[in-house]
Amino acid sequence: MLPAAELPSDGASPDHERSQMILEQLGRVVVGQPAMLEQMLITLLAGGHALLEGVPGTGKTLAILALSRVLGVTFGRIQFTPDLMPADVTGLSTFDPRERDFVFRPGPVFADLLLADEVNRAPAKTQAALLEAMQERRVTIDGVSRALPEHFTVFASQNPVESEGTYPLPEAQLDRFLMKIAVGYPDAQDELELLARYTAGFDAGEPGTFALSEILAAGELGALRAAVRRVRMAEDVRAYVVALVRATREDSALALGASPRAAVALFRASQARAFTQGRDYALPEDVKELARPVLRHRVLVAPDAEIDGITSDERIDAVLRTVEAPH
């Protein structure tokens, strides 16, 4: 087996260029968040779901709305609140007197791209309804199983600094997200650019000012996802993925290490990143770049380490330094 960096390439699919076009379009709307946009696109191409965590006003909702317009897919939004019921997510059957029968009214979950805004504000039962749909890509209502759209993808958001009136997602439910994307503040130059765009007529509350082009037609997202699955990963890079995940279980500063599902997630995400970089093979660099967003919500810092201010990102960085990458 050749080392990963020396693997011959037959040339990446020409479709990868459209992934760059998608990022370019999103950059016209969302300023100063290139990492967030790239990780959202990787999540989408890998067929997973993402949890975006950041303070309000950093472009999370705007990015998801813009992505739906660039892809030309159906978009749904759920504003999670403490009184939200599972039926508000999945839909329900109501009696239609004209038909003299019950008629199913689909909920917002029946969309290609779903924004679950402030997902940690809803009680556990409602969160579970959404997370079950994410895992099964189906919902069962009144004993009838209904398939969700083919490209069903959830981007959920939560505010990291508010705790009052919230219901934090348990570790088992967090594990359903391919990535947890940390969204920070843009730098000063990007904020100046943002104000310049508003001066020129842009308004985040008015989608008509976005000036976005639709990059993918109906059905083309499936073709891109199929191309991502064909991205090759050498045996030594696969072994590197497994070694990183297993090392989290041996870290004394972590009370909970990453599960085998985390290895699958890191594998899939690395394939998608390689695709966006124009390669038909994955490198250790792809794995390293995505270790934080793929693993940070799948490990749990031990209480004594947490008291000392140690974070999951710091322990993932320590694992990356400890486990030798293939050359």
Domains of the chain, first to last: 1-15+218-327 (1.10.8.80), 29-209 (3.40.50.300)
Residue 214 pLDDT: 87
Mean pLDDT by 10 residues, the chain (327 residues): 40 69 92 94 96 90 90 89 92 81 88 92 88 88 87 90 73 89 94 94 88 83 92 97 98 95 97 94 97 96 94 97 94
Residue 13 pLDDT: 53
Bridge pairing between strands 101-106 and 50-53: unpaired
The one-letter amino acid code at 67 reads L
Residue 208 pLDDT: 84
